[in-house]
C-alpha cells in the first residue's frame, strides 16, 4: 500500500529528519503512531509538507528514508501584520498545489491522508481531482467558542478553509475527541448529504508506571511544579506563572519547570517577562521540547502538574501525566470530568488562587499524595485507550478503506462514528 501524507511538518517528522530514534520522538502520537505502524507493516508512506525546518541530519531509523519526503516546502514562520503575510501565503499555496499534484501524477498512491486544515484542504481537492481515496485528519478544533458566539454562517465566513473542509467529498474525516467539541462543529457544518464518515475518536496512550519510564534525567532536588505545552497563547502559561507568583507571595518558593516547542517567539518572551516582573525569573526553567519518558519523569516527581488551557485540557500531556500517576490540578472547564474525580485522583480549579491553595495543601501533607497517584493510575487503565488499541484501529481502518472503499464503521444516531472498547475494525 502506498500512502501520501500532506501536512504541515509534524514534530515527529522533524525529529526523525533530525536524526532522532523512535524512543526520542517528541509530541504528537496522533501524527507519529499511524505513520510508524503503517511503515512497520510494509506500507510506503511519503510526505509533502510545509515547514520552517531544513536542518537535516543522518537518519537513525530503517523504516524511513529521505526519498519518502517528496517535498518540504520550506517556509519559515514570521510574525507580521496580516496584509504583509499575504504574499507568503500565496507562494506557499502555489508551491503546495504544485508538489502535491506532482506526487499524485508520478506515484500510484492508494490513499492520501490530508492533515487539517490548510494543507489538508489542498490535498483533499487534488486527491478528488486525481480519483485517489482520501481521509482528513484533525487533532481537534478551537472554533467552537466562536461558533457558539457568532453562529455557523458567520464563523464559516471567518474560516472558509475549515468550513469547506467539512463539505468536500472524502472517505472519512477523523477528528480527535479532545474536549474541544469537534462533534458540535460537525453538526453545524456537516454536508447536506453524506460525503464521508465522520470519526470522533479519543486518543490512545502508552500505559507506564514510573518504574517503566526510561529516562536519563535525574530527579530534581528542589520542589517544583511542572507544565508541558507548546508556547502558544491559548495554552495559558501566564496562569501557571501567576500561580507560582502567588505561592512565592505566601512564602512558598517553589520552582516551575516548563517544556514544549516554541510556537510563538513573542509569547515566549511575554511569559518570561511576566516571570521577571513578578521577581520569580530565577525559579523558572524552560526545558525545550523533551521526549515522552522525560516528560513522564518530570510529571511524576512534581509537586503538581498544572493544566490551565483555554477551550480544553484533554491533550496528550494530560494522558501521559495521568497514566503515570502525576498529581494533576486541572481547569474546571468540563474537559476533564470523565477522568478526574476531584480530590481523589486529582483536582479541578477555576483560577490560580485555588491552584495555589491546593499546592499549599500538598506541601503541608494535607492530602495523601500516594493515594492520589494510585487512583489516577488505576482509573486511567479503565478510562483510556491504550496506544495499541487506538492506533492499530486507525491503521486497520485505513487499510480497510483501501481494500473496500469504505471504513466499515457504524455511526450513531447523530451521524458520528465513535470508538469504544468493543469496536471491531477488520483489517
Question: Do the strands 172-176 and 134-138 form a parallel or antiparallel pair, or are they unpaired?
Answer: parallel
Query: Average of pLDDT values for 173-202?
Result: 95
Res 187 pLDDT > 90: yes
What are 208-254's pLDDT values in tens digits?
999 999 888 889 999 999 999 988 899 999 999 999 999 999 999 99
pLDDT-based confidence at 426, cuts 50/70/90? very low
pLDDT value at position 77? Answer: 67
Res 261 pLDDT > 90: no
292 touches 15 (CB < 8 A)? no
Q: Which grid cell sits at 187?
A: 453538526
The larger pLDDT score, comparing residue 421 to residue 263, is at: 263
pLDDT value at position 379? Answer: 96
Counting residues of the chain whose pLDDT is more than 70, the rounded percentage is: 97
Res 79 pLDDT > 90: no
Res 73 pLDDT > 80: yes
pLDDT-based confidence at 427, cuts 50/70/90? very low
Query: Average of pLDDT values for 173-193?
Result: 95
CA nearest to 247, candidates 219, 275, 267: 275
Q: Which grid cell sits at 11?
A: 514534530
What are 310-357's pLDDT values in tens digits?
989 998 899 999 999 999 999 999 999 999 999 999 999 999 999 999
CA 395 to chain centroid: 18
> In angstroms, rounded to a whole number, what is the distance separating the alpha carbons of residues 165 and 203?
22
Res 88 pLDDT > 90: no
**Neighbour count for residue 225 (Cβ, 10 Å):** 24
CA nearest to 174, candidates 129, 124, 140, 125: 140
Q: Three-class SS of residue 13?
A: helix
pLDDT value at position 25? Answer: 84
> Mean pLDDT for the chain?
93
Residue 53 has φ and ψ, to the nearest 5°, of: -125, 130
What are 42-55's pLDDT values in tens digits?
999 999 999 988 88
Per-residue H/E/C for 345-397? CEEEECCHHHHHHHHHHHHCCCCCHHHHHHHHHHHHHHHCEEHHHHHHHHHHH
> In angstroms, rounded to a whole number, what is the distance separating the alpha carbons of residues 133 and 18?
31
pLDDT value at position 27? Answer: 75
398 touches 213 (CB < 8 A)? no
> In angstroms, rounded to a whole number, what is the distance separating the alpha carbons of residues 47 and 6?
6
Res 65 pLDDT > 90: yes
Buried b (16+ CB within 10 A) or exposed e, 144-167: beebeeeeeeebbeebeebbebbe
CA nearest to 393, candidates 381, 385, 402: 385
pLDDT value at position 23? Answer: 83
CA nearest to 235, candidates 307, 144, 333: 307
Amino acid at each position: 500500500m502506498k500512502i501520501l501524507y500532506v501536512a504541515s511538518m509534524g514534530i515527529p517528522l522533524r525529529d526523525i529528519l533530525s536524526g532522532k530514534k523512535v524512543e526520542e520522538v517528541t509530541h504528537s502520537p496522533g501524527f507519529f503512531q499511524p505513520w510508524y505502524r503503517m511503515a512497520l507493516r510494509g506500507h510506503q508512506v511519503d510526505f509533502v509538507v510545509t515547514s520552517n525546518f531544513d536542518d537535516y541530519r543522518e537518519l537513525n531509523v530503517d523504516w524511513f528514508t529521505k526519498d519518502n519526503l517528496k517535498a518540504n516546502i520550506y517556509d519559515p514562520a514570521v510574525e507580521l501584520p496580516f496584509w504583509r503575510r499575504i504574499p507568503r501565503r500565496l507562494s506557499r499555496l502555489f508551491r503546495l498545489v504544485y508538489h502535491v499534484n506532482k506526487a499524485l501524477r508520478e506515484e500510484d498512491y492508494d490513499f492520501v491522508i490530508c492533515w487539517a486544515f490548510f494543507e489538508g484542504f489542498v490535498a483533499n481537492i487534488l486527491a478528488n481531482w486525481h480519483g485517489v481515496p482520501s481521509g482528513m485528519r484533525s487533532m481537534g478544533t478551537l472554533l467552537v467558542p466562536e461558533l457558539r458566539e457568532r453562529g455557523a454562517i458567520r464563523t464559516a465566513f471567518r474560516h472558509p478553509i475549515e468550513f469547506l473542509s467539512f463539505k468536500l467529498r472524502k472517505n472519512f474525516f477523523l477528528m480527535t475527541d479532545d474536549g474541544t467539541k469537534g462533534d458540535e462543529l460537525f453538526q453545524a457544518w456537516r454536508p447536506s448529504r453524506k460525503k464521508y464518515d465522520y470519526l470522533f475518536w479519543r486518543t490512545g496512550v502508552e500505559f507506564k508506571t514510573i518504574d517503566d519510564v526510561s529516562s536519563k534525567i535525574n530527579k530534581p532536588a528542589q520542589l517544583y511544579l511542572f507544565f508541558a505545552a507548546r508556547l502558544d497563547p491559548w495554552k495559558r502559561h501566564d496562569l501557571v506563572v501567576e500561580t507560582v507568583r502567588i505561592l512565592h507571595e505566601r512564602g512558598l518558593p517553589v520552582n516551575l519547570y516548563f517544556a514544549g516547542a516554541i510556537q510563538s517567539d513573542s509569547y515566549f518572551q511575554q511569559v518570561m517577562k511576566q516571570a521577571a516582573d513578578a521577581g520569580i525569573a530565577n525559579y523558572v526553567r524552560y526545558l525545550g521540547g523533551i521526549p515522552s519518558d522525560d516528560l513522564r519523569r518530570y510529571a511524576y516527581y512534581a509537586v503538581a502538574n498544572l493544566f490551565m488551557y483555554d477551550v480544553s485540557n484533554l491533550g496528550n500531556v494530560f494522558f501521559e501525566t495521568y497514566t503515570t500517576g502525576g498529581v494533576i490540578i486541572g481547569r474546571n472547564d468540563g474537559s476533564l470530568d470523565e477522568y478526574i474525580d476531584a480530590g481523589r485522583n486529582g483536582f479541578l480549579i477555576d483560577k490560580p488562587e485555588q491552584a495555589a491553595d491546593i499546592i499549599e495543601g500538598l506541601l503541608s501533607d494535607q492530602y495523601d499524595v500516594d493515594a492520589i497517584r494510585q487512583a489516577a493510575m488505576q482509573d486511567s487503565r479503565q478510562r483510556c485507550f491504550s496506544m495499541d488499541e487506538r492506533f492499530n484501529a486507525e491503521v486497520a481502518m485505513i487499510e480497510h478503506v483501501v481494500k473496500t472503499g469504505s471504513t466499515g464503521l457504524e455511526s450513531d444516531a447523530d451521524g458520528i462514528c465513535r470508538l469504544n472498547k468493543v469496536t471491531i475494525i477488520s483489517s
